Amino acid sequence: MSKLDRESVIGISALLVHAANIDEIYSDKEKELVKNFIKSYLIKEDANKILEKAEEIENNSNQLLNYTNIIKKNSLSIKKDIIEHLWRVIISDKSIDQYEANLMRRICGLIYFPDKECAEIKLKLINS
């Protein structure tokens, strides 16, 4: 898997924070999942500092497009990895509400990610 640059990871982490916040419960477990995403791309960085920046961006912006434009430019394997991380955050509380499902549909549409593949990732994670 190719690497994402620091700014991209921060932006995508903000999207993960947004996904975590959409049900208005931002748990420690969700924070850990976002940090796992950060660590998978920025090995030498402080994941807590990156998470703080991502939370700040998410608090000050409701523009989903800012985040998805970063993802759209990447390879299918990176998109797939990001979708998988998004689903992990969403299903970490063992429920998927309509807002979370809608968010995933919108993101997949905006980054040109196949719905079928998105559904397969979700099922794989629910059943694991």
**At residue 128, does pLDDT exceed 60?**
yes
pLDDT digits (tens, 9 = 90+) for 88-99: 999 999 999 999
**At residue 11, does pLDDT exceed 60?**
yes
**At residue 2, does pLDDT exceed 70?**
no
Residue 62's pLDDT is 72
Round the average pLDDT of the chain to a whole number and report it.
Answer: 93
**At residue 53, does pLDDT exceed 90?**
yes
Q: What is the dihedral of CA 14, 63, 84, 98, to 10 degrees?
A: 120
Structure tokens at 30: 């969700």
Residue 122's pLDDT is 97
**At residue 34, does pLDDT exceed 70?**
yes
How much is the average pLDDT of 71-88?
96
Residue 66's pLDDT is 80
Which residue bears the tokens 């660590």? 39
Residue 52's pLDDT is 97
101 φ, ψ to 5°? -60, -40
> pTM value?
0.93
Angle between helices 76-91 and 98-110 (to 10 degrees): 170
**At residue 63, does pLDDT exceed 90?**
no
**118 Rama class: left (phi>0) / alpha (psi -120 to 50) / beta:** alpha
Count H helices, E strands: the chain? 7, 0
Q: Evaluate whether the domain defined by 6-126 bears CATH number 1.20.1630.
A: no
CA distance 55 to 52: 5
Element (H, E) at 76: helix 76-91
